[in-house]
Amino acid sequence: MGRLDGKVAVVTGAGRGIGRATALRFAQEGAAVVVNDVDEDPAVETVQAIREAGGRAALSLENTVDLDAARALVSRAVQEFGSLDILVNNAGITRDRTFHNLDDEQWDFVLDANLRTAFHATLAAVTVMRESAKRETAERGTPRYHRKVTFTASSTAIVGNPGQANYTAAKGALMSLTRTLARELGPFHINVNAVAPGFIETRLTAPKGEGDALGMPDHLRQMALALIALGYPGRPEDVANAHLFLASSESDYLTGVVLPVTGGQLGA
Ligand SMILES: NC(=O)c1ccc[n+]([C@@H]2O[C@H](COP(=O)([O-])OP(=O)(O)OC[C@H]3O[C@@H](n4cnc5c(N)ncnc54)[C@H](O)[C@@H]3O)[C@@H](O)[C@H]2O)c1
């Protein structure tokens, strides 16, 4: 028996890294997964990987920066699989600059990709989840099970990180949103939590070459590594396992929590 048998999940940013690992893990545990990413090739690859492993998946290329696109994403889940039980807000990106070099374009791009996508996807998802919970409560006095929304913050928003004012502003906002939505949606048995990953090996933390938009300079990678109690960077699967716990019934009495997945990063 899978830990997510019969559940329907949407994972944003599921073409690569943590989102891809989460989508695969959820499908392995019995969930039908809508794989959402703005990049088609990696998203298609994730869907194929899930199907080849015997799981159920659907593709979504919507960019939930736009609210109508978020509604289309949620409709896809309901049309393809009949409901929506789990939303993992994982889409995110960096555009690192020292604060005095930041302009509106880099600020808006990073706030949009990390925060507005999550705002809109959650707004669209919660509309469906609340209705289901209300209907079930009218029928039987309580929702049939807990539905789950998870945000992706970052340890950098807890400890601060030079060069990431835009990114940490977005991730800090997501932590606050987690706590407020947990209070608003608790009566509907919709749990709202967040993960705060530390240094996880993906393209966001890969060694940054000359002119690369993403990645980390080598000296910062070494510094990040030195702060980790376990002594090595995390893998996308480590965060996927935390997402699985937060999406499963094992975490039903846990809401409004920001869970650091950092290998014991100092200060986070
Ligand atoms: N890697 C780390 O160390 C680390 C640490 C803390 C937090 N995070 C967060 O974890 C999440 C996943 O990061 P990752 O390291 O796997 O990155 P990644 O770049 O490997 O994967 C992110 C995916 O999100 C997609 N994406 C970007 N904007 C999108 C949008 N508007 N809509 C849908 N998809 C979009 C990208 O195309 C990409 O496939 C992000 O929110 C990131 O900020 C990562």
pTM of the complete model: 0.98
The single-letter code of the amino acid at 25 is R
Q: What is the mean pLDDT of residues 36-49?
A: 98
Per-residue pLDDT at 151: 99
215: left (phi over 0), alpha (psi -120 to 50) or beta: left
Q: Tell me: the pLDDT tens digits for 80-95?
A: 999 999 999 999 999 9
User: Does residue 205 have its Cβ closer than 6 Å to ligand 1?
Assistant: yes
| Confidence category of residue 57, pLDDT binned at 50, 70, 90 | very high
pLDDT over threshold 90, residue 210: no
Per-residue pLDDT at 209: 85
Output the six-digit token pair for 124: 């669209």
What is the full DSSP assignment across 136-185? HHHHHSS-SS-EEEEEE--HHHHH--TTBHHHHHHHHHHHHHHHHHHHHH
User: Does residue 152 have its Cβ closer than 6 Å to ligand 1?
Assistant: yes
**Residue 198 alpha carbon, nearest atom of ligand 1:** 5
User: Does residue 13 have its Cβ closer than 6 Å to ligand 1?
Assistant: yes
Q: Is 11 helix (H, G, I), strand (E, B) or coil?
A: strand
Output the six-digit token pair for 245: 């716990």
Q: Hey, which of 204, 220, 265 would you mutate to test ligand 1's pocket, going by the most ligand atoms within 8 Å of its Cβ?
A: 204
Q: Where are the domains of the chain?
A: 8-261
Q: Write down the residue that tokens 């995110």 correspond to.
A: 92
Is CATH 3.40.50.720 the classification given to domain 8-261? yes
Residues 6+ positions from 23 with CB-CB distance below 8 Å = 9, 11, 14, 33, 35, 46, 50, 57
User: Does residue 93 have its Cβ closer than 6 Å to ligand 1?
Assistant: yes
Q: Tell me: the pLDDT tens digits for 108-166?
A: 999 999 999 999 999 999 999 999 999 999 999 999 999 999 999 999 999 999 999 99
pLDDT over threshold 90, residue 268: yes
| Confidence category of residue 211, pLDDT binned at 50, 70, 90 | confident
